[in-house]
Amino acid sequence: MRVLKTNWINILGVFIVVLLYALVLNVTDTNVSRNVFQSVLSALILVCLYGLMFWALFVVLLIVCDWLFIVRNRNKLPVWLLLEWIVVSSPFVYWAVNYREWIFIAGVCAFLITQSLRARRIAKL
């Protein structure tokens, strides 16, 4: 069960990258004049409220994949983490391509990086 507690690395890493991506998009948008406070507030609303379905699906898929792949068998941990990344990322890549919401690609890339950080943490357990 300690493996499931390492999911905070993925959640925090993806949240920070997606929030920074949204903040950069809000600041650089030339169609709307916002100050920095309004940009930060709108980025938080975008990531937390608009992205609620993203976060719910992301956390549920993380827990299910961890339970199926890693908790039962820690042999070949990098392979299991890569497989988990593919399974969890596939709906978000679909959404990015289908709806042209490139913020999902930023989240998927951050998720890959945090998976490698998480692999080190799981190996220590």
Task: Find the radius of gyration of the CA atoms of the chain.
Answer: 16
Judge whether residue 50 has pLDDT over 90.
no
What integer pLDDT is reported at residue 47 of this predicted model? 94
What integer pLDDT is reported at residue 35 of this predicted model? 83
Domain encompassing residue 18: 4-124
**Percent of the chain surpassing pLDDT 90:** 72
Structure tokens at 25: 């998009």
Residues near 104 by Cβ (< 8 Å), separated by ≥ 6? 54, 92, 93, 95, 96
Structure tokens at 78: 């990098």
Average pLDDT over residues 5-23: 95
Residues near 11 by Cβ (< 8 Å), separated by ≥ 6? 58, 59, 62
Report the C-alpha gap between 3 and 121 in whole angstroms. Answer: 9
Report the C-alpha gap between 76 and 52 in whole angstroms. Answer: 33
Report the C-alpha gap between 48 and 111 in whole angstroms. Answer: 17
Structure tokens at 1: 């069960």
Helix (H) or strand (E) holding 82: helix 77-99
pLDDT digits (tens, 9 = 90+) for 61-71: 999 999 998 88
Mean pLDDT of the chain: 92
Q: How many domains does the chain have?
A: 1
Structure tokens at 92: 């978000």
